[in-house]
Structure 1
Amino acid sequence: MLARDIYHNNVKNALIKDKWKITHDLLTLKFGKKDLYIDLGASQLLAAEKAESKIAVEIKSFTGRSDVDDLEKALGQYILYQDILTELEPERVLYLAIANSIFEDLFEEPIGKLLLKNHRLKLITFEPKQEVIKQWITPN
C-alpha cells in the first residue's frame, strides 16, 4: 500500500468544498513497465461551456529535512508527472498542492518567485485545518 501525504484528506475535502468531483483517489499512470501514482484526480463541470475540466493533484507536505530539498524533489516529480500526463491524458492539468504556510515561506521568497516567474508549475494553496483552497496559481 502506498503511503499518503499527511494532507491527503485535507486537500481532497477542500477540492470537494470547491465543487470538484474526485474521480481518482490515486490516479495511476501506466507508462511502459512503470506505474506512477498522482495523489488525486478530479473533474468539474463548467456550466457556461458545457465542458468538463480535469485536473490531477500531487500533494506535498514539505516535512523533510529542508524546504529546499523538499522543493527539489517535488519539482522533479512534478516535471515527470507533467510529461507523462501530456502523453496519456493531455486534457488533464497537473497542480502541486501545498499548505498556504509553505507557499508563504517558499514562494514569497526569491527562489519561489523565480519558479513562478518562469512558469515552472501550477499551484493550489490550502489551509489544512479549515480544509479550504486559498489560491489557484496558474501561470499565463
Structure 2
Amino acid sequence: MAHITDDPLRIRYGGVDTYIDLAAERVIAAEKADQKIAVEVKSFLSDSTTYEFHLAVGQYVDYRILLSKTQPERRLYMAVPSDVYHGFFEGMFAQLILQEAQIHLLVYDSKREAIEQWIN
C-alpha cells in the first residue's frame, strides 16, 4: 500500500529542476514501518520497447543519483505496465540491465488500476 505525498516530486540540484512522477510513503508489512519512495511511471507506448527501455533506464539512473544527494532516505521505483513487464522486462536482456543497474520496479495493471507487484 502506498500513500502519495507529492505529485510530482521536484528535485532541484545545481540550478536544474527535475520532476519524478510521484513521491509516496509505502507501508512494508514485514517490517511494519514506512518507507519513503519516488515512482517514475513509464507507459512504453511507442513501437520500440527497446528504445523506450534505454530512455527509461537513463532517466532512472539520473533520478537515483539526484535522490541520493537530495533525499537519500527515498527509494526510487520505475513503474511499468504488466503487459510490458511480462512481454519485455522478464527477458534475459532486460533482466541483465535491471540487475546491473539495480533498478527497483513497480508492476501495474493499467486496466484495473492496480499494483501487481513490487520488485526490489
Same fold (TM over 0.5): yes
CA distance 1:56–1:68, shift in 2 (3 Å): same
1:92 aligns to what? 74
Identity value in percent: 40
Q: What amino acid is the match of 1:97?
A: A
Q: What amino acid is the match of 2:103?
A: L
2:107 aligns to what? 125
Q: What amino acid is the match of 1:109?
A: G
3-state SS in 2 of match to 1:73: helix
CA distance in 2, matches of 1:100, 1:62: 11
Aligned residues: 120
CA distance in 1, matches of 2:75, 2:8: 15
Question: Offset of 1:115 from its aligned partner?
Answer: 2.0
Given the alignment of the two structures, is residue 55 of structure 1 paired with residue 37 of structure 2, yes or no? yes
1:110 aligns to what? 92
1:22 aligns to what? 4
Q: What amino acid is the match of 1:100?
A: S
CA distance 1:66–1:34, shift in 2 (3 Å): same
Runs of 5+ consecutive residues of structure 1 not aligned to the other structure: 1-17
CA distance 1:101–1:86, shift in 2 (3 Å): same
CA distance in 2, matches of 1:47, 1:124: 16
Following TM superposition, the consecutive aligned residue runs of length 4 or more in structure 1 with deviations greater than 6 angstroms are none
Taking only aligned residues, the RMSD between alpha carbons, in angstroms, comes to 1.8
Of the two structures, which has the highest relative contact order with CA contacts closer than 8 Å and spacing of 6 or more? 1
Q: What amino acid is the match of 1:105?
A: G
CA distance 1:48–1:135, shift in 2 (3 Å): closer
3-state SS in 1 of match to 2:87: helix
CA distance in 1, matches of 2:20, 2:41: 8
Greater percentage in strand: 2
